[in-house]
Amino acid sequence: MSFFFVKLEVHLKRFFTYILTLFLSSQLYASHIVGGDMYYDCLGGNTYQITLKLYRDCLSDGAEYDPMLPVTVFNGLNVQIDHFTIPFPGSAVLDVLFDNPCITFPSDICVEESIYQKTVTLPDSPTGYILSYQRCCRGPAVTNLADPGDEGLTLQIDIPPTSLAVCNSSARFTNYPPLVLCAGQELIFDHSAIDPDGDLLVYELCSPFGGGSSTFPAPDPAAPPPYSPVVWAGGITADDPFGAGDLSIDPVTGMLTAFPEAPGLYAVGVCVKEYRDGNLISTSRRDFLFKVLNCEIELEAEVIPQDDLTTFVSYCQGLEIFFENNSYGGDFYKWDFGVPEIGTDVSTEFEPSYTFPGPGTYVVMLVVNPGWPCTDTSFETFVVANSIDAYFTPPDAQCIVGNSFDFMGEGIYPTEGEGTTFEWNFGGYSDPLFSTVEDPTNVVFTAAGPHDVTFTVNYDICTISHTEEIFVYAEPTINFTVPDELKCAPYTAYFTDLSFAHTEIFYSWDFGDGIGTSSEQHPVYIYNDVGVYDVTLTIWTIDGCIDTLTLVRENLIETFPSPTSAFTVSPTVLDEYHADFFFTDHSVDGVEQWFYFADGDYSQLTEVWHNYTEPGVYYPWQIVVNEYGCKDRSYQQLTVIPVIPVLVPNAFTPDGNSLNNIFKPVFYDDENQIFRMYIYDRWGELIYDFNGAGGYWDGSYQGNVVPDGVYIWKIIYNEYDTGLPTEIGGHVTLLR
């Protein structure tokens, strides 16, 4: 029994010691890692000097550097074959490379570097080696990682097998990136590496590796490769670690360009790949953090570049330049306009102008607050030349027939013998197409219409062009048309002119019947008689291409006789109970005829009875067609009178039960019939008067329902067929 308690006590001590170690480790290694990288030098055989640079935040509450830094060695098959430790060599605080005195530098930036080095002899491995070091953690403030508080790092380096490279030394980075970047400002940094063997180096952005975690902060030995990259936050990738902004690296030079837009702490990975004889033999990976701040810049100098000046169009507008100043935060300014060997090319104005002594290229300097503790300088290159200008007056338009244009170049420029050259471009439809003389003549255009002609003057570095439009008239053409349709006399012809000219056209029409003429462009003419007619059009122009053209279109109009529609209806008025009407054809020169009865029915008989089932006024018609297909139509009117045009109730019960509550007449032909209705009591007193459509009596007088009894009504309305007023009357019984 005592043995059991001793055994249990030993296990409990080991358990609590393990838990305490995990707790202390998670505290010691939390929130302190900034980054690092590893490289090696071959000293001969399997002996290497291993260098591991590790960076930590001086101001964090994390642990100190490893007193004995563990490195695990794997062969090329990812199997552990060795392990060694490197004693802590001490550390040094890195200088903050931030050279703008006009930005207040934050006081919470501190990074220290420790360079662990050890010479080791590795066991033989025909597959090469992988050296690894792992730790946790990066801290919760890293902006671009999904779970930065639990994201560790792995520093790894490859030693190639001798089959690829014998006694290789790896590439190593020469500079550590700046610790601080300003949001919205560009950084260009030399992130290149050197290689002792002179191998070809290629650079790229890559993902840092994850490593230890908060539950296993100091893996020793390190986990075997391959290693998983860090888990980026949503929308973040190794090539776009800022999310908002830009980061890129030149694959050949290693120049890193960063333009972050938002403040934050960003994990970044840069890899340099080492190639020998076209084979990849090793990859060195640097893992680091960029801290991006909203820098409050108190002063900045900026000269507006020449191409952006609002008062400057090109390099050839003369020797005087009006400078624009986009600086801020300053009170005093010093301009030096870059004229060599003189000291008078200066100004203290905010936005000066300066006339340069001659054409040339000048580097202009602007110093804001010169001599003050906070000052800034801006340089811009300006190219100036003597002013030149070019233009020409477009010649008057000409007809395409026999055209010949002369052009005269004008402007402000040195003469041709002083180095000036000319270029004419006539737009692609001319002979010649181009010219290099100042005043070209006899330019013939081969196509009518507008042409853009450009005159260009070249002098020294200056080129200026001017474009004008010239016009070439086309030859007039004549044509016209009339609809292709059956033409039955009397026929109305709609003529459409299809003639063309670039200038005004005058018209003379002859319609071929010996009577009709017109000077309109699109005339309308009625042919009353049957016949075949020639139509003649003559057009002429008095400007542009002057010409007179005549077109005769023989037998263009052929008109045919039309039949005459006529019929009778007997009788013309019947009531709805006896609505049988007799239709009789009286048409002339027709071969077919149809009666349309205006109620949806029709007949081809020449004599026919037709019954109408509904009262109303009808307008039946007849269509007659002759042997040429010409038609005629005529109409008649007939009336079917309703027997009871108005229905009037004789009793109603305004008791509020929603049935038979009102006295309302119903008109046969139209529920919207306008009528006048009077209601009288038995003594002849008027108790209701309505005038309009849809009216009714609800049995009340002055807001109260009248007593039961018989009441007299009178209604006046207009007859639907004649429109004449009609009066009807009667009695209605009111019951409650």
pLDDT tens-digit series, residues 535-575: 999 999 999 999 999 999 999 999 999 999 999 999 999 98
Q: What is the C-alpha separation between 10 and 526, in angstroms, rounded?
A: 127
How large is the average pLDDT for residues 404-411? 96
What's the mean per-residue pLDDT of the chain? 88
Residues written for the chain = 736
Sign of CA dihedral 121, 127, 128, 129: negative
Q: Burial-class residue 16 by CB neighbours within 10 Å (0-12, 13-18, 19+).
A: exposed
pLDDT for res 18: 35
Question: In which band, very low, low, confident or very high, does the pLDDT at 673 lie, cut at 50, 70 and 90?
Answer: confident
In contact, 459 and 390? CB cutoff 8 Å: no
pLDDT tens-digit series, residues 218-265: 899 999 999 999 999 998 999 999 988 899 999 999 999 999 988 888
pLDDT at 104 over 70: no
Those residues with Cβ within 8 angstroms of residue 284's Cβ, 6 or more apart along the chain or in another chain: 37, 38, 39, 157, 170, 171, 172, 173, 193, 271, 272, 274
In contact, 659 and 632? CB cutoff 8 Å: no
Residue 637: how many CB atoms within 10 A of its CB? Answer: 12
Nearest to 272 by CA among 188, 195, 349, 183: 195
Which tops the pLDDT comparison, 458 or 294? 458
Which tops the pLDDT comparison, 35 or 431? 431
Q: What is the C-alpha separation between 82 and 74, in angstroms, rounded?
A: 7
pLDDT for res 137: 80
pLDDT for res 11: 35
pLDDT at 142 over 70: yes
pLDDT tens-digit series, residues 319-343: 888 999 999 888 899 999 999 989 9
In contact, 529 and 513? CB cutoff 8 Å: yes
Q: What is the C-alpha separation between 330 and 124, in angstroms, rounded?
A: 67
Residue 117, SS3 per DSSP: strand
Q: Which of 394-398, 408-412, 596-600, 668-672 has the lowest mean pLDDT?
A: 668-672
In contact, 535 and 511? CB cutoff 8 Å: yes
pLDDT for res 577: 86
pLDDT tens-digit series, residues 206-230: 999 998 887 888 899 999 999 999 9
Amino acid at 715: I
Q: What is the C-alpha separation between 650 and 663, in angstroms, rounded?
A: 8
Is beta strand 389-391 parallel, antiparallel or unpaired with respect to 353-355? unpaired
Residue 221, preceding peptide bond in cis (omega within 30° of 0) = yes
DSSP 12: H
Query: What are the tokens at 657?
Result: 């039960």
How large is the average pLDDT for residues 685-712? 93
How large is the average pLDDT for residues 467-494? 97
Which tops the pLDDT comparison, 419 or 481? 481
Query: What are the tokens at 275?
Result: 């190639």
Element (H, E) at 480: strand 480-481
Backbone angles phi, psi at 541, to 5 degrees: -120, 150
Backbone angles phi, psi at 653, to 5 degrees: -130, 90
pLDDT for res 23: 35
Q: What is the C-alpha separation between 290 and 704, in angstroms, rounded?
A: 92
Element (H, E) at 554: strand 548-559
The 3-state secondary structure of 67-111, one letter per residue: CEEEEEEEECCCCEEEEEEEECCCCEECCCCCCCCCECCCCCCCE
pLDDT at 6 over 50: no
Positions of E strands within 325-396 = 333-336, 346-347, 353-355, 360-368, 376-384, 389-391
Query: What are the tokens at 35?
Result: 């980054």
Nearest to 132 by CA among 162, 161, 160, 153: 153
In contact, 39 and 51? CB cutoff 8 Å: yes
Is beta strand 398-399 parallel, antiparallel or unpaired with respect to 462-473? parallel
Q: What is the C-alpha separation between 247 and 21, in angstroms, rounded?
A: 40
pLDDT at 29 over 70: no
DSSP 403: -
pLDDT at 17 over 70: no
In contact, 453 and 427? CB cutoff 8 Å: yes
Question: In which band, very low, low, confident or very high, does the pLDDT at 30 lie, cut at 50, 70 and 90?
Answer: very low
Max avg pLDDT among 148-162, 295-309, 643-657: 148-162
Backbone angles phi, psi at 4, to 5 degrees: -65, -45
Q: What is the C-alpha separation between 579 and 639, in angstroms, rounded?
A: 9
pLDDT for res 60: 66
Nearest to 352 by CA among 367, 339, 335, 369: 335
In contact, 319 and 384? CB cutoff 8 Å: yes
Q: What is the C-alpha separation between 388 and 402, in angstroms, rounded?
A: 36
Amino acid at 630: C
How large is the average pLDDT for residues 624-638? 96
Q: How many helices (H) and strands (E) does the chain have?
A: 1, 59
Question: In which band, very low, low, confident or very high, does the pLDDT at 658 lie, cut at 50, 70 and 90?
Answer: confident
pLDDT for res 510: 98
pLDDT tens-digit series, residues 425-454: 999 999 999 999 999 999 999 999 999 999
pLDDT tens-digit series, residues 146-205: 988 888 899 999 999 999 999 999 999 998 888 788 888 788 889 999 999 999 999 999
Residue 150, SS3 per DSSP: helix
Q: Which of 312-316, 324-328, 523-527, 697-701 has the lowest mean pLDDT?
A: 312-316
pLDDT for res 519: 97
Q: What is the C-alpha separation between 414 and 388, in angstroms, rounded?
A: 8
pLDDT at 116 over 70: yes
Backbone angles phi, psi at 179, to 5 degrees: -80, -25
Residue 446: how many CB atoms within 10 A of its CB? Answer: 11
In contact, 466 and 394? CB cutoff 8 Å: no
Site of tokens 């050890």: 118
Residue 711 φ/ψ region, left for φ over 0, alpha for ψ in the -120 to 50 degree band, beta for the rest? beta
pLDDT for res 9: 35
Residue 608, SS3 per DSSP: strand
